[in-house]
């Protein structure tokens, strides 16, 4: 099997996402990124125009992956419970493949400039509304008790999934399958009757 060669820009974005996660976007300088790349800061500009460009590409890229995954799940023929489980799987998959970028969605998105900031917030809102629609469908079908506050359930599930990168960083040896299974058991068993 042929290995895929990463571009210099992709490597810069990977190093920057790690630094943004560790130090924060505001505290990370172009010099820090250049040092991590073992190159001069001026050389970075051959591949990127700014630190803001990196943040935009990282966050808009991960937002696009979540949006695409949600659209695939919604358009599938899965029943509502299976769709809810597929959303947990989507978060696990994206977290394991993009943990440093995922870390940015918990707070660093506030550093986006316009128009990306507005676009990012809109995508996040649409994603949350679609997630809520699946939870509501589960409740209408009797899979989730009527007494469960669906808005609170959404907040609880997404909060746990957003911080999964931090937990997984401390427990890297758990398999993807086991992680998906455990999360569905912890997050959904209290909801699904």
Q: Which fold has domain 51-188?
A: Tetracycline Repressor; domain 2 (1.10.357)
pLDDT for the residue 41: 85
8 A C-beta contact, residue 36 and residue 19: yes
Mean pLDDT of 160-189: 91
Confidence of residue 178 (pLDDT cuts 50, 70, 90): very high
Which of 122, 118, 148, 126 has the alpha carbon at shortest distance from 135? 148
Confidence of residue 193 (pLDDT cuts 50, 70, 90): low
pLDDT for the residue 3: 52
- Residue 161, pLDDT > 70, answer yes
Percent above pLDDT 70 for the chain: 97
8 A C-beta contact, residue 143 and residue 80: yes
Q: Which segments of the chain does DSSP mark as H helices, in order?
A: 8-23, 30-37, 41-44, 51-75, 80-97, 99-104, 116-140, 150-162, 164-170, 176-188
Return the minimum-mean-pLDDT range out of 71-75, 107-111, 189-193.
189-193
pLDDT digits (tens, 9 = 90+) for 22-38: 999 999 999 999 999 99
8-state DSSP, 4: P
- Residue 191, pLDDT > 50, answer yes
39 — alpha (psi -120 to 50), left (phi > 0) or beta? Answer: beta
Which of 185, 186, 192, 189 has the alpha carbon at shortest distance from 145? 192
pLDDT digits (tens, 9 = 90+) for 128-139: 999 999 999 999
Confidence of residue 16 (pLDDT cuts 50, 70, 90): very high
- Residue 2, pLDDT > 60, answer no
Place of tokens 């995954």: 69
- Residue 5, pLDDT > 90, answer no
24 — alpha (psi -120 to 50), left (phi > 0) or beta? Answer: left
pLDDT, averaged across the chain: 93
Mean pLDDT of 15-23: 96
pLDDT digits (tens, 9 = 90+) for 86-110: 999 999 999 999 999 999 998 999 9
Confidence of residue 6 (pLDDT cuts 50, 70, 90): confident
Listed by start position, the domains of the chain span 51-188
pLDDT for the residue 1: 44
């Amino acid at each position: 099997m042929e290995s895929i060669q990463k571009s210099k820009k992709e490597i810069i974005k990977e190093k920057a996402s790690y630094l943004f996660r560790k130090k924060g976007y505001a505290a990370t300088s172009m010099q820090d990124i250049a040092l991590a790349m073992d190159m001069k800061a001026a050389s970075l500009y051959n591949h990127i125009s700014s630190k803001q460009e990196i943040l935009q590409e990282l966050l808009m890229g991960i937002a696009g992956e979540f949006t695409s995954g949600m659209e695939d799940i919604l358009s599938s023929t899965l029943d509502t419970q299976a769709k809810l489980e597929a959303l947990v799987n989507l978060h696990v998959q994206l977290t394991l493949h993009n943990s440093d970028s995922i870390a940015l969605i918990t707070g660093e998105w506030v550093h986006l400039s316009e128009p990306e900031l507005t676009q990012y917030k809109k995508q996040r809102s649409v994603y949350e509304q679609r997630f809520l629609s699946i939870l509501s469908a589960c409740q209408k079908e009797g899979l989730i008790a009527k007494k469960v506050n669906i808005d609170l359930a959404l907040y609880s599930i997404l909060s746990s999934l957003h911080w999964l990168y931090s937990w997984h960083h401390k427990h890297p040896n758990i398999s993807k399958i086991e992680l998906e299974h455990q999360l569905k058991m912890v997050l959904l068993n209290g909801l699904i009757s």
